[in-house]
Amino acid sequence: MFHVTSKHSTARRLTVLTAATAAAVCLTAGPAFAHVEVEADKAQALAENVEISFDAESESDTAGITEVRVVLPEGIAPADVTYGEGPKGWKFTAGDDGYTVEGPALKAGVNAEYSVVVKQLPDAGKLAFKTLQTYSDGRIDRWIELDQDGENPAPTLELRPAAPGAKPAGPSPAESETASSSPIPVETEPSSSPAAEAKEKDDDSGLSTGAWVGIGVAVVVVAGGAVYAVRRRTGAQG
């Protein structure tokens, strides 16, 4: 027995199949739409005093963002970054490898938008700002992948080539500060006392003071003996 399928039935099946496929694609690709965006007006290598704006998109319908921690790319030191603008009540804290912007939880679904000012951008083609985004319920979104096609790509700023004649600025005061500005003292020998100086002079003459005293005593003894001998001889003759 053969079943005859009408054109209308086939069309309905194709429509249902297409809708189901589209829904599956949307559900699979949905989380990838949320990420952290970054932009700057002076996105150019070696540009100075550049304000960089970030937009950390919210992925939660029940919890608000409370903290955004950023690991700075190579060539930007935490000491060269200052806070620009951000959510009300939030504060900026520099760390060893980056900075943290945090404060009262934002409303669920509200993005965390803020900006920082960088003293000078490095001579590079692009800068990746690895970001950890924390919510009030403890959830953490890790936007740290360098592959922009990954599921959790790090916000990356594309830079134009440096302007002609642009040069890296000098080191920051913290890096150029020396351990001590006072000269290192030079060791000197203590000054000699008068007695020591006299001894040194005696040593320079070849004989010590004790030797000279011994010689003097010997001379006196010899002279006394000679006088005694002369007197004895004279008495004997008389």
For the segment 97-144, what is each residue's pLDDT rounded down to a tens digit?
999 999 999 999 999 999 999 999 999 999 999 999 999 999 999 999
pLDDT at 217 over 70: no
Burial of 143 (0-12, 13-18, 19+ CB in 10 A): buried
> Measuring CA to CA, how many Å separate 73 from each of 23, 85, 157, 188?
38, 21, 10, 51
Q: Nearest CA to 48 among 123, 114, 118?
A: 118
DSSP lists the bridge partners of residue 215 as none
pLDDT at 23 over 80: no
* Predicted pLDDT of residue 79: 97
- What does the mean pLDDT of the chain come to? 76
If DSSP states are collapsed to H, E and C, what string results for 209-221? HHHHHHHHHHHHH
Half-sphere exposure of 157 toward its Cβ, with a 13 Å CA cutoff? Answer: 26
* Predicted pLDDT of residue 25: 39
pLDDT at 81 over 50: yes
* pLDDT tens, position by position, 41-60: 999 999 999 999 999 999 99
* Predicted pLDDT of residue 169: 86
Over range 195-200, report the average pLDDT: 49
Structure tokens at 77: 């030191």
pLDDT at 172 over 70: no
* Predicted pLDDT of residue 101: 98
User: Which one has a higher pLDDT value, 36 or 173?
Assistant: 36
pLDDT at 204 over 50: no
* Predicted pLDDT of residue 231: 53
Q: Rounded to an integer, what distance in angstroms lies between the CA atom of residue 125 and that of residue 44? A: 9
* Predicted pLDDT of residue 237: 52
Structure tokens at 170: 């000098």
Alpha helices in the chain (DSSP H): 7-33, 173-176, 194-205, 209-237
User: Which one has a higher pLDDT value, 131 or 196?
Assistant: 131
